Amino acid sequence: MLILGTWREHEIKISVRERERSLTVSTTWEGHLLTAAYEGGGRPRTFITQGTVYRRALDGRMLAKWRPRGQLRQRRWLSQDEALQIEARGRALLQAVYTDIQQGRLQANGELPPLGHTLFQRALAWNEAKSRADAARYRAIYLPIGILPPDQYSAIVLQATLGCSFNTCTFCTFYRDRPFRIKPPDEFRQHAEAVKDFLGEGIYLRQGIFLGDANALVVPMKRLVPLMEIVSQVYPDAWGGIYAFLDGFSGEKKTPEDYARLAALGLKRVYIGMESGHAPLLHFLHKPGAPEDVLHTVQAMKAGGVAVGVIVLIGAGGHFYAPGHVADTITLLNAMPLDENDIIYFSELVVTDDMPYARDAAAANLHPLSHAECAAQEAAIRAGLRFKTRKPRISRYDIREFVY
């Protein structure tokens, strides 16, 4: 339900979404437009003001994103004090609006429904101590979640495995300090139940289950099937299906029949860190597996009725590897049986000083691609793509945007 009205001489919008059990209030506050959005249990989610979007992660941190005129998008993780101040500002707005609603001082096109009152009250019951306790509870349930594909930012993450079974890729630091481990069924069930309890009413804003961490699908079938069954037992409504990464290509290979069985258990799409179709570049990146392994894996998944999300690393290997990267990536993608259920992601390489990639690139005297050259590389790959049936979705993937 959307309530439009006038509040203290300014326009106000109050959105109460029944299915998602979410509350959003948008109006002028302290001289600026402020939008404040909350989950059903009162947990703050997003604030927007003065051209900056503040997105609260479940661990209590907050990512601020803004785009100065004519420049690329900027981002900064706020300090905890800064994040709590933003939350407090949203609460002050909510308190003022709700007091006026109760006292009949809001002129609007409709009444706040009973659910709206509940959502206001829950959001107002949130405070600094609750925010800190919620973040601590999150950290007791999860190890830090390194990354998700962009279309999975709203998924419920369940860490069936921890870490990455390879951990060799020089451009990836997500799981360096985390030995790979498959959770036994009892531990996983406990985790899945704890996540459900932690999300509370916020679960209605979530879509799909994402099996973490980096390559949950590397788990052998006889251990994976019981974990998938636990997912459907703890989340019987399925919440939009199950998703996971598969990265690096060694160990037990799954057959189309295996994927058909996993599809029957709810698996919808698997995200594959292909990075490149150029074998020398994969070797330089210390990425396990060869381009043909990726192709065979995609063929097996598609034959089993599971969609894929293929991730290509733009800018990897700088100018030296660029021609081979473009040509062989086009060839590999064109050999895949991709269709409208699939996604191709282009993810621009982000290099930080602590990455082995930075050291290897310097030793090899590689010249990095500028952002504009990365955009040109992506355009060159896109221009070479040919699809047999309907096109997959093609999209950007910026790892710096990720917030869970």
> Whose Cβ is closer to ligand SF4: residue 131's or residue 161's?
161
285 or 394, CB closer to ligand SF4?
Answer: 285
Closest to ligand SF4 by CB, 123 or 157: 157
DSSP per residue, 191-222: HHHHHHHHHGGGGGG--SEEEESTTGGGS-HH
Measure the CA–CA gap between 349 and 289, rounded to whole angstroms: 19
Least gap, CB of 173 to ligand SF4 (angstroms): 8
Q: Residue length, the chain?
A: 404
- CA nearest to 330, candidates 354, 306, 346: 346
Report, in Å, the least distance between residue 273 CB and ligand SF4: 5
- Give me the least distance between CB of 243 and ligand SF4, in Å please: 16
The strand pair at 2-7 and 107-108 is best described as antiparallel
Per CB under 6 A, residues contacting ligand SF4 are: 164, 166-169, 172, 174-175, 214, 247-248, 273
Q: Which is nearer to ligand SF4, 131 or 215 (CB)?
A: 215
Distance in Å, CB of 358 to ligand SF4, minimum? 15
Nearest Cα to Cα of residue 88 among 73, 78, 77: 78
Q: Which is nearer to ligand SF4, 14 or 214 (CB)?
A: 214
Residues 291 and 134: their CA atoms lie apart, in Å, by 43
Six-digit token string for 127: 């405070």
* Cα–Cα distance, 228 to 236 (Å, whole number): 12
In the bound state with ligand SF4, the residue whose beta carbon lies nearer, of 152 and 167, is: 167
CA 247 centroid distance within chain: 16
In whole angstroms, the minimum distance from the beta carbon of 140 to ligand SF4 comes to 24
Q: Minimum Å distance from CB 214 to ligand SF4?
A: 3
Which of 247/348 has CB closer to ligand SF4?
Answer: 247
272, burial (CB in 10 Å: exposed 0-12, middle 13-18, buried 19+): buried
Smallest distance from ligand SF4 to CB 397, Å: 13
- Report the alpha-carbon distance of residue 336 to residue 339 in Å, rounded: 9
CB contact at 8 A, 291 and 282: yes
